[in-house]
Amino acid sequence: MLDKIMKTDEQYYMNTFGTRLPAVFERGEGVRLYDTDGNEYYDFLGGIAVNVLGHNHKALVNAISEQAKKMIHVCNYYYTESQAELAKVLCENSCADKAFFCNSGAEANEGAIKLSRKYHYAKGATDKSEIITMKNSFHGRTVTTVAATGQEKFQIPFRPMTETFIHVDINDIEMLKNTITEKTGAIMLELIQGESGVMPLSKEYVKEIRKICDEKDIVLIVDEVQTGIGRTGTLFCYEQYGIEPDIFTLAKALAGGVPVGAVLAKDKFCAFVPGDHGSTFGGNPLACSAALCVLDELLNKGVLEKSKETAEYLKNELEKLKSCYDIIENVRGAGLMLGIVFKKDISKELFKKMFEHRVLVSAVSTNVMRLVPPLIITKSDVDVFVARLKEVLDEYK
């Protein structure tokens, strides 16, 4: 089976992910995934911070299938209850007043960038077109969001880029202040940079940015595509920074695996008028019903609250490991978005070795193992993970 699928994939799939690890997954249950040979894996990657409720979650499967039986899609010329309801739940549980739906993180960020431009345009400030983003950030793969992404390696073959973005070092407020000009229209950032190594921005830095944005009428866009939906221990990561963004974006975990993205904004920044923006699939009933179920589980069924305890347990267990394995430099991140930082550039080989020990993780940067498991993991799942990680790290003693 594996050989056959690998051959078909090699011939017909446009490979952008390099050599994949040799498993064909066919089903999952909670934190566990099963390949076509019946092998069981612990999924501490959760589809890259997507499967917040794990696999085959009863309520989510039910919400999706019940909605599919009624209607999968209807276009945005008409109302649907689930879309209106999802916008309401998101706004009632955040600092935003309105939501727009799309299909992915990149698309949500494109929407946020357009919205910030339109905010200034509507006021006649058409020259406030520059956007400051952070070095080592990741905002998506479209031509504009890859330009926003502060990592040249993703941009080089696709130049010319959208010429709007200026990248600054994180946590360097003087550099940021020196970069701001009359043309600065927005500052966009991830509070914890996920793709480049689970690197948190400091609270003082973010608070200072908020102050500057208020003073200079600069739109603060927070990309919560990875950090949002309970990932870091609160529904949105900005809650832990003591600030409120003007616009923030969501995707990944929002519908637990059904593609959806969202742009959330405060009233003042809701500058789109009919015709400015749109999406065929965005916010369709299937995606919105799934997202409503995810939010219900997180907020009303105790998933978010319980995940905080498990996250603390995981962090403590990893700290204990640090004292036994000299190769671990430190553990950083928040909630169930953690990075184990190693003293050597071994993250790629650990990614493979953990897979051989039937655990899925990811390698971000050359020396960081990223853990973004489903929020439903239990302490005993953590114990299994830690035991297998120990087996792997014993080789480096």
Ligand X SMILES: Cc1ncc(COP(=O)(O)O)c(C=O)c1O
Distance CA 216, CA 221 (A): 14
Look at residues 182, 82, 185 and name the one whose alpha carbon lies nearest to residue 129. 185
Site for ligand X in 255-314 (CB under 6 A): none
CA-CA distance, 96 to 92, in Å (whole number)?
A: 8
Contact map string, positions 174 to 203, toward ligand X, x by CB under 6 A: ----------------x---xx--------
Choice between 109 and 310, CB closer to ligand X: 109
> 108 vs 350, which CB is nearer to ligand X?
108
3-class DSSP state of 342: strand
**Run of H or E residues at 206:** helix 203-216
Min dist. Cβ of residue 335 to ligand X (A): 15
Stretch that binds ligand X, among 57-65, 71-79, 137-145, 376-384 (CB under 6 A): 137-145
Q: Please, what is the Cα angle at 191 between 185 and 195, to 5 degrees?
A: 105
Our separate counts of H helices and E strands in the chain read 12, 17
What residue spans of 258-371 are helical by DSSP H?
285-300, 303-324, 347-356
Chain residue whose CB lies nearest ligand X: 105
Indicate the residue among 130 and 195 with the shorter CB distance to ligand X: 195
| Closer of 90 and 146 to ligand X (Cβ) | 146
Among 140, 185, 245, 335, binds ligand X (CB under 6 A): 140
Q: Which range, of 85-93, 136-144, 162-170, 178-186, touches ligand X by CB under 6 A?
A: 136-144
Q: CB under 6 A: which stretch of 58-66, 219-227, 271-279, 296-304 binds ligand X?
A: 219-227
Q: What minimum distance in Å lies between the beta carbon of 205 and ligand X? A: 17
Nearest residue (CB) to ligand X, 48 versus 91: 48
Q: Please tell me whether residue 106 binds ligand X under the rule CB under 6 A.
A: yes
Radius of gyration of the chain (CA): 21
Stretch that binds ligand X, among 10-18, 76-84, 223-231, 234-242 (CB under 6 A): 223-231
Among 251, 258, 304, 369, binds ligand X (CB under 6 A): 251
Which residues on adjacent β-strands are paired with residue 100?
A: 263
Neighbours of 156 (CB within 10 A): 8
User: Measured between alpha carbons, how far is 247 from 97 in angstroms, rounded to an integer?
Assistant: 10
Using CB under 6 A as the binding rule, whether residue 226 contacts ligand X is answered as yes
Q: d(Cα 237, Cα 104) in Å, to the nearest integer?
A: 19
Q: Are 261 and 252 spatial neighbours (Cβ–Cβ below 8 Å)?
A: no
> How far apart (Å, rounded) are the C-alpha atoms in residues 244 and 123?
22
3-state class (DSSP) for residue 312 = helix
Residue whose CB is less far from ligand X, 138 or 165: 138
Which CB, 284 or 382, lies closer to ligand X? 284
- Window contacting ligand X (CB under 6 A); options: 10-18, 99-107, 125-133, 375-383: 99-107
Report helix, strand or coil for 247. Answer: strand
Q: Which residues contact 74 (CB under 8 A, 6 or more apart)?
A: 80, 284, 285
Nearer to ligand X, 261 or 285 (CB): 261
Nearer to ligand X, 190 or 317 (CB): 190
Span near ligand X by CB under 6 A; candidates 83-91, 121-129, 162-170, 220-228: 220-228
Phi/psi of residue 281, nearest 5 degrees: -85, -25
Point out which residues bind ligand X (CB under 6 A).
Answer: 104-106, 109, 138-140, 190, 194-195, 223, 225-226, 251
